[in-house]
Structure 1
Amino acid sequence: MLADFLLYLSLFLIWFMLFYHMFLMQGGYLHAQSYRKTAEKYLSQMKEYPTVSILIPAHNEEVVIENTLKSMVRLNYPKDKLEVIVINDNSSDDTGNIVEGFANMYPYIKVIHTKPPLGGKGKSGALNTGLKHSTGEFIVVYDADNTPEPDAVTQLASGLMNDQKAGAVVGKFRVTNGSKNLLTRLINIETITFQWLAQAGRWFWFKLSTIPGTNFAIRRSILEKLGGWDEKALSEDTELSFRVYNLGYHIRFFPSAVTWEQEPEMIKVWWKQRTRWARGNEYVIFKYLLNFKDLNNKKVGLDLIYFLFTYLLFFGGVMISHSIFILNIFFDLNLSMGAVSYVLLVLGFLLFVTEVALALSFEKDQLTLKNAVIILFMYFTYSQLWLLLVVYATYLEAKRVLLKQEVTWYKTQRFKEKETSENRSA
């Protein structure tokens, strides 16, 4: 029967992803045990410091930009080798004046003011503008709500200096407002799991990881060869990752470089941000899947499959299984698996809980009783909300392609915070 076929298909997709995540988590655990030794070795071998340009795209960031620039001042990196370029991208608030104040005090901090028609088009355009005005051998990117730890840039630079096959080095990010409310606690758990499972696991086994939107360093020569960032991509970071792979480089996950960032505190802000991420990643999937035969580095296929499963096949499998479960309550679908399918779903849930709990155990003071309860709650709420979001994002992206609509950028709303040190101790 059709219902049986769809149920088998959905369970295969779900369990394929669950087993793959188990495999990745093993790699994440092994990387967590070894990366500190590598970081210490790299720092000891760093005889000279390369020139570094930090790019900070900023559109209406008056709420957070001051703390970000204070963290730039605190960086333990030779200031004669450092330039911090803030791209004040068509802001209508006090962002420009705040940055100008820092630029007047610190000669290594610069500000570029952009206006339409070139300015105000999104993060990729702002980064490309900053790249043209930069001089550093390495380019580091931070979002305007980020407060990197003092050694973060040194760690990123040491990764590139000591690993010539690395086109980019990706650091770890933590959440400053993780204890603000239930939503930020869920996001905090999500980000920790993503980094130790997906980033660390893929790096350990395949020498693959995805460039995030912040806290990464990339060789200037690579950006120039690639022509900068793709201004049509809503997930410019993921898109750039695939082009770096295709040049034959790997992207190193280097969790010793740590930044702290703000996450959405309201569900509507989260929804808009994550919708942009999902649409952007779907754009990347189809851009490279349709042109796979033209790619020089076929290893890219591993990550294409991962993103394809994550955003389409896995979510599709879960949606099918949920639909069959609900329909079977009201109509007898004569399923041959019967109770076995329910056992598999329960086991899948327990595996989900185990994987998330393991990821939290890699971070100090994160595997708490409160977080353990939230993980149970997370599966039935936050994870299910992701399903609806991906469906919505797929609809929007399909409509954009069919109607040839122009890409519009949504900037995540920021929230006023106390000093970063207070947030980290919360």
Structure 2
Amino acid sequence: MADFILYFSLFLIWFMLFYHMFLMLGGYRYFRHHPKIKQKWDEDPGEMPSVSILIPAHNEEMVIQDTVEAMIHLKYPKDKLEVIVVNDNSSDSTGAILDNYARKYDFIKPIHTKPPQGGKGKSGALNQGLKHSTGEVIVVYDADNTPEPEAVYNLALGLNKDEKAGAVVGKFRVLNAHQNLLTRFINMETLTFQWLAQAGRWSWFKLTTIPGTNFAIRRSILEELGGWDEKALSEDTELSFRVYNFGYHIRFFPAAVTWEQEPESLKVWWKQRTRWARGNEYVIAKFLFNPSQVTNKKVPLDLFYFLFVYLLFFSGIIISHGIFITNLFFDLDLSIGTVSIFLLVTGFLMFLTEVWLALSLEKNQLTFKNALIAVLMYFVYSQMWVVLVAYATFLELKRVMLKQDVKWYKTERFEQSK
């Protein structure tokens, strides 16, 4: 019996590893092909739409100035641009900083919210911003983001040239990647399992998930969908499924690049990632147990991916770890010894191949130091994710059974080094 359970758990792990290798190949293929698309579209971009940038901000005095400065330097016609920063019930100097910029630049428009409309979390702040916006296209950035000058132009360009795209997603990079070991892990996670995996999913399946920042969506679609779901902790994933159900696809366009600050302490990382995991589990349950809400054939494919990642894959890891540890103290009469060692070693090498490939596609990232950190990442950071997902699942089950309200956690910021 123990052999069967172990084989099954290893199958779950290997299925996901091979799937990610498949995505990496697609990501590499798109990496090579994307510049040609960008060059062709730049030759005839068409009439650029009016754009409203929404930035939810709650107690962001440490980072908001750099973010607004990045908005000022965007290479987009200012007569077609408005930057709406939602000062969402802040108790620090965020509001004063925004008002100061608004006096200097008429396209920067702060909105100050208080309860009961304000203070409900990111989705609520975005819905408030949407009410005050006028653009044909809505672009979202987090308050710690510094997009590159052409980022918004590239997002709008993607919508201009792809009529079937309901939204366009850009690429984000880690601003504080070299701050400490944790941020180096996050940087590799971002490059490997977010942007390259996104590229692979787009390349093979024309599937992309909206992230929390650096994306553009057609205003008409967002209004038809009723804005953001204020009960969702992962409002981005939830919105993605509804966009697909509405009959559009979501294009991945990595020419639109933003830089964002990542957690520099384990405490902040743990809280942020727990919110992500719980939010994605909420979305899984919302659509899995309400099949009538699924009207696009691509949604089940993406739903299965999230189900596999957050439940089956991590369950396989926890079960296999549990069996190996138990066997150290009690003889479970396992007959899989040599095979399991081979599978574990091969899985580790596949992980390294994925990370090293992602690093090789970025300038100055595939260094000897980063190659060694990737090895450590497998044994430390990846295992942290296993524990975190188990904890997040427990919290989400508890919330559902006890009918608790969703509580939003706003990621703490760190002083930017100049």
Query: Cα deviation per residue 1:280-319 (whole Å; 9 max; x = unaligned)?
Result: 0000011111122442102211111110111110000011
Residue number in structure 2 paired with 1:55: 54
Query: Cα deviation per residue 1:372-411 (whole Å; 9 max; x = unaligned)?
Result: 0011000111100001100110011001101111101000
Identity, in percent, stands at 73
User: Where in structure 1 are there 5+ consecutive unaligned residues?
Assistant: 420-426
Which deviates the most, 18-27 or 121-130? 18-27
Cα distance between partner residues in 1 of 2:351 and 2:193: 13
Residue number in structure 1 paired with 2:190: 191
Which deviates the most, 106-115 or 190-199? 190-199
Task: Map 1:381-400 onto structure 2 (within 5 A).
Answer: 381-400=380-399
Cα distance between partner residues in 2 of 1:76 and 1:40: 17
Query: Cα deviation per residue 1:250-291 (whole Å; 9 max; x = unaligned)?
Result: 111110000000000000000000000000000001111112
User: Counterpart amino acid of 2:260?
Assistant: E
- Contact 1:21–1:197, Cα closer than 8 Å, also in 2: no
Task: Map 1:370-381 onto structure 2 (within 5 A).
Answer: 370-381=369-380
Residue number in structure 2 paired with 1:232: 231
Query: Cα deviation per residue 1:90-148 (whole Å; 9 max; x = unaligned)?
Result: 00000000000111100000010000011001000000000000000000000000000
What SS class does the counterpart of residue 279 from structure 2 fall into? helix
Residue number in structure 1 paired with 2:333: 334
Residue number in structure 1 paired with 2:364: 365
Q: TM-score by structure 1 length?
A: 0.97
Is 1:167 aligned to 2:187, yes or no?
Answer: no
RMSD (Å), alpha carbons: 0.8
* 1:17 CA drift (Å): 0.6
- Contact 2:314–2:386, Cα closer than 8 Å, also in 1: yes
Task: Map 1:113-152 onto structure 2 (within 5 A).
Answer: 113-152=112-151
Task: Map 1:412-423 onto structure 2 (within 5 A).
Answer: 412-419=411-418
Which deviates the most, 218-227 or 356-365? 356-365
Cα distance between partner residues in 1 of 2:210 and 2:294: 19
Query: Cα deviation per residue 1:335-367 (whole Å; 9 max; x = unaligned)?
Result: 122221111111111111111111111111111
Which deviates the most, 244-253 or 148-157? 244-253
What SS class does the counterpart of residue 54 from structure 2 fall into? strand
Residue number in structure 2 paired with 1:71: 70
Is 1:403 aligned to 2:370, yes or no?
Answer: no
Residue number in structure 2 paired with 1:356: 355
Cα distance between partner residues in 2 of 1:289 and 1:380: 33
* 1:194 CA drift (Å): 1.9
* 1:414 CA drift (Å): 0.4
- Contact 2:207–2:298, Cα closer than 8 Å, also in 1: no
Query: Cα deviation per residue 1:15-58 (whole Å; 9 max; x = unaligned)?
Result: 11111111111100000001111112222221321100000000
User: Counterpart amino acid of 2:63?
Assistant: V
- Contact 1:56–1:87, Cα closer than 8 Å, also in 2: yes
Cα distance between partner residues in 2 of 1:367 and 1:312: 32
* 1:417 CA drift (Å): 0.8
- Contact 2:232–2:282, Cα closer than 8 Å, also in 1: yes
User: Counterpart amino acid of 2:386?
Assistant: L
Is 1:269 aligned to 2:263, yes or no?
Answer: no
* 1:197 CA drift (Å): 3.4
User: Counterpart amino acid of 1:406?
Assistant: D
User: Counterpart amino acid of 2:323?
Assistant: I
Cα distance between partner residues in 2 of 1:155 and 1:359: 22
Cα distance between partner residues in 2 of 1:248 and 1:48: 24
- Contact 2:172–2:195, Cα closer than 8 Å, also in 1: no
- Contact 2:55–2:86, Cα closer than 8 Å, also in 1: yes
User: Where in structure 2 are there 5+ consecutive unaligned residues?
Assistant: none
What SS class does the counterpart of residue 274 from structure 1 fall into? helix
Task: Map 1:252-267 onto structure 2 (within 5 A).
Answer: 252-267=251-266
Cα distance between partner residues in 2 of 1:12 and 1:288: 26
Cα distance between partner residues in 2 of 1:25 and 1:138: 31
What SS class does the counterpart of residue 242 from structure 1 fall into? helix
Is 1:42 aligned to 2:41, yes or no?
Answer: yes
Cα distance between partner residues in 2 of 1:261 and 1:313: 30
User: Counterpart amino acid of 2:383?
Assistant: Q
Cα distance between partner residues in 2 of 1:341 and 1:196: 31
Q: Please identify runs of 4+ aligned residues in structure 1 that moved more than 6 A.
A: none
Residue number in structure 2 paired with 1:23: 22
User: Counterpart amino acid of 2:21?
Assistant: M
Cα distance between partner residues in 2 of 1:64 and 1:42: 33
* 1:334 CA drift (Å): 1.1
User: Counterpart amino acid of 1:153?
Assistant: V
* 1:223 CA drift (Å): 0.3
- Contact 1:193–1:356, Cα closer than 8 Å, also in 2: yes
Which deviates the most, 363-372 or 294-303? 294-303
Q: TM-score by structure 2 length?
A: 0.99
Cα distance between partner residues in 1 of 2:111 and 2:321: 50
- Contact 1:43–1:155, Cα closer than 8 Å, also in 2: no
What SS class does the counterpart of residue 177 from structure 1 fall into? coil
What SS class does the counterpart of residue 339 from structure 1 fall into? helix
Cα distance between partner residues in 2 of 1:13 and 1:183: 27
Cα distance between partner residues in 1 of 2:196 and 2:260: 20
Residue number in structure 1 paired with 2:199: 200
Residue number in structure 1 paired with 2:110: 111
Query: Cα deviation per residue 1:307-333 (whole Å; 9 max; x = unaligned)?
Result: 011111000001111111111111211
Is 1:209 aligned to 2:208, yes or no?
Answer: yes
User: Counterpart amino acid of 1:391?
Assistant: A
